[in-house]
Amino acid sequence: MKRNILIASDSTSDLSPALIERYGIRILPLGVTVGDKHYTDGVDIDPDFIYKNYAETKTLPKTSAISIGEATDFFKACREEADAVIFFTISSQMSSTFHNVRLAAQEFEAVYVVDTQNLSTGGGLLVLKAAEMAEAGAAAEEIVKTCEALVPCVDASFVIDSLEFLHKGGRCSAVAAFGANLLQLKPCIVVKNGKMGVSKKYRGKFGEVLKKYVAEQIGDASDIDLDRIFVTHAGCDEAIVSACVALVKELAPFKNVEITRAGCTISSHCGQNTLGVLFFRTHPIVQEQ
């Protein structure tokens, strides 16, 4: 028997295998090229391989958007299983995935594409919201409308231990990277208007910086939706992750604290030792123009 609504996402949503299985979410992966070899994100390559390869070669991988053909084949298979499909993509400001997927969706009835205007579990929050609404029996149009209204409520940020990957990827100058490393500066990357930017720079050891960052992000939690928070990291030491999770639980009574590893896309841009807390605010975040 056909499912009523199938919730799907590209691989940048960084949802854990347990969450994907729990909600029956379908994932369409992006491509990753390392040297002259092409891989499929989360299928035959993982972030640990990227870190190891970079340590040996000092060469960053390149990620590639989902093609129109890949999306068309994916939607054809999904529509055979469900009456409607809702697909979430990484921000259209960061990848052509949204545009390609939207073009493919036009060939089908009852296939909806949502631009999360975010990345990693910032988009994952919207995916899970849609999955919960689908389980509760909401109509596809209602789910899409609700999730699109929640896009500006997503608070997504990360602290990066080293600027090396950002520098090698052309996202900061050699002088800035050298100065930051010399002063032990740890930039906080935030998503605003669908793009990544630096909000502030912390100074000190990574573990101590993260405690300050988590405390500042959560604050008194008066304007945070306490249903779910993600602690998403890129290969951080287990003790550091555990300390951040414990602090999150101490600061606010979140119903669900999800711990996830960042996938190949985040890892390719930010590198190892990146950690963020991601959640919904109870109101749209005022964005700077």
Which pLDDT belongs to residue 175?
A: 33
Distances (CA, A) of 75 to 14, 20, 78, 134, 170: 20, 18, 5, 18, 35
Q: What is the pLDDT of residues 103-126, one digit of tens each?
A: 999 999 999 999 999 999 999 999
**pLDDT higher than 50, residue 186:** yes
Element housing 112 (H / E): strand 111-115
Inter-residue contact 234 to 47 (CB < 8 Å): yes
Residues 6+ apart with CB under 8 A from 219: none
Measured between its terminal Cα atoms, the distance across the chain in Å is 48
Q: What is the CATH number of domain 153-281?
A: 3.30.1180.10
Which pLDDT belongs to residue 184?
A: 64
Which pLDDT belongs to residue 189?
A: 86
Which pLDDT belongs to residue 167?
A: 47
Q: Is 268 exposed, middle or buried (0-12, 13-18, 19+ CB in 10 A)?
A: buried
Lowest-confidence pick of 5-14, 72-81, 138-147, 262-271: 262-271
Give the whole-angstrom CA distance, residue 50 versus residue 55.
9
Which pLDDT belongs to residue 183?
A: 47
Can you give the residue ranges of every domain in the chain? 3-151, 153-281
Q: What is the CATH number of domain 3-151?
A: 3.40.50.10170
How many C-alpha atoms does 121 have within 13 Å on its Cβ side?
27
Inter-residue contact 41 to 90 (CB < 8 Å): no
